[in-house]
Amino acid sequence: MTPRYETVLRELAEKDERIVVMTAENRAAIRNLPPVLGKRFIDVGICEQTMIGVAAGLALRGRRPVAHALATFITLRAYEFIRDDLGIPNLPGVLVGGVPGFLSDANGPTHQAIDDVALMRTIPNVRVVCPADEHELAEALPVLIEEGAPVYVRHIPLMPVFERKKQFAYGQAEVLSDGEDIGILSYGLCSREALTAAKILRGKGLSVRQVHVASLKPLDEAAVLETLGKCRVTFTIEDHLLSGGLFSIVAELMAKRNKAAKVVPFALEERWFVPTLLKDVLEVEGFTGEKLAERMSRAAEAT
């Protein structure tokens, strides 16, 4: 059975007095925790900046804050607070962003966290983790809390669609399949759709190496480089802007290691996505498994 994020957080907090659960009045993921945690549940109201500052103050006193808000507001509204109050002093803080990327479905551009990875990863000391499902997040949580570093996490409250062979660890990617024709690098929601795409491509006789990169910072450089090295063409697939996300991460790594490879990004180029229900977002933006497979085989043929 898949453990719920909230259940795991409750169990950890019950055992560990250092853990304080915070929110800027967004309790969707933690609605049952107030009665259990008492004063260790802090809702600051709709004050994301203050939530992060308060988290830093709590961390100064030895607490391990786990803070929740919508992914856009926690990363954008509170950006400078994360940078100054958690990043500069390297204080512990797990920042959980709700409805990241395509999950904001019909909310519109104000709610589209498609720049969160770019923003968070540029802050020294701040780590970035994008699990694919509820189980992976729940499994990662004790690691994120125990590590004691500031970390931003995308929360994907969906059931798993693939099994992982390894426990979550910082700087470790999960190789879901191996192959040489097509390489796929992705994280979060897109790893789920990419799984379907990989199956379709294999059905067409192509060999596919799919790597789920939950730990975007620190990065599993070896897994990425191996993909670039052995695959004819590699796709980065992300519900994120083209700038600053996984494609940028891969491009930076290639430049740093003086590595040439054919890489095709599937991302949002200089625009927000069409606001509609999630299944329709995936359809119109070309990010369903079927659409991704189509786009990849077309691009692969062109190379």
Partner 1 sequence: MSANTVPVATDDDLRALSLRVREHIIRMSTGGGCFIGASLSCADLVAYLYARVLNLSPSTLTDPGRDYFFLSKGHDVPAVYGTLAELGYIPRERLQNHLKPTDSLYWHPNRKVPGVEFHSGSLGHLLSVSIGVALDIKMRGGQNKVYVVLGDGECDEGSVWEGFLVANAYGLDNLVAIIDRNEFQANIRTEELIPLEPLDQKLAAFGWGVRMVNGHDFAAMAYAFEGLPAKPGSPTCIIARTVRGKGLPSIEARADRWFVNFKPEEIEALLKELHGEEQARLTSETLMVR
Provide the minimum distance between the beta carbon of 178 and partner 1 in the complex, in angstroms, as a whole number: 47
Q: Does 283 interact with partner 1 (rule: CB under 8 A)?
A: no
Provide the minimum distance between the beta carbon of 208 and partner 1 in the complex, in angstroms, as a whole number: 47
Provide the minimum distance between the beta carbon of 42 and partner 1 in the complex, in angstroms, as a whole number: 7
Nearest-angstrom CA–CA distance, 148 and 128: 14
Question: Which one of 49, 104, 210, 236 is in contact with partner 1 (CB under 8 A)?
Answer: 49
Pair of tokens at residue 165? 């062979």
Closest CA to 125 of 218, 216, 56, 214: 218
Question: Which position has the token pair 């507001």?
Answer: 73
Q: In what order do the strands lie in the sheet with 215-217?
A: 41-43, 19-23, 64-70, 93-98, 150-154, 127-129, 215-217
Q: Does 39 interact with partner 1 (rule: CB under 8 A)?
A: yes
Pair of tokens at residue 257? 């290691």
Question: Which position has the token pair 């390894």?
Answer: 166
Site string for partner 1, 239-258 (x = CB under 8 A): --------------------
DSSP 26-56: --TTTTTHHHHHGGGEEE--S-HHHHHHHHH
Site string for partner 1, 77-116 (x = CB under 8 A): ---xx--xx--xx---------------------------
Q: Does 58 interact with partner 1 (rule: CB under 8 A)?
A: yes
Q: Which of residues 139-168 bind partner 1 (CB under 8 A)?
A: none
Q: Which stretch binds partner 1 (CB under 8 A): 54-62, 161-169, 178-186, 282-290?
A: 54-62
Provide the minimum distance between the beta carbon of 222 and partner 1 in the complex, in angstroms, as a whole number: 36
Q: Does 286 interact with partner 1 (rule: CB under 8 A)?
A: no
Pair of tokens at residue 225? 């480089």
Which CB sits closer to partner 1, 10 or 240?
A: 10
Q: Give Cβ neighbours of residue 186 (< 8 Å, ≥ 6 apart).
A: 194, 210, 211, 212, 213, 236, 237, 238, 246
Positions that interact with partner 1 (CB under 8 A):
39-40, 42, 44-45, 47, 49-63, 80-81, 84-85, 88-89
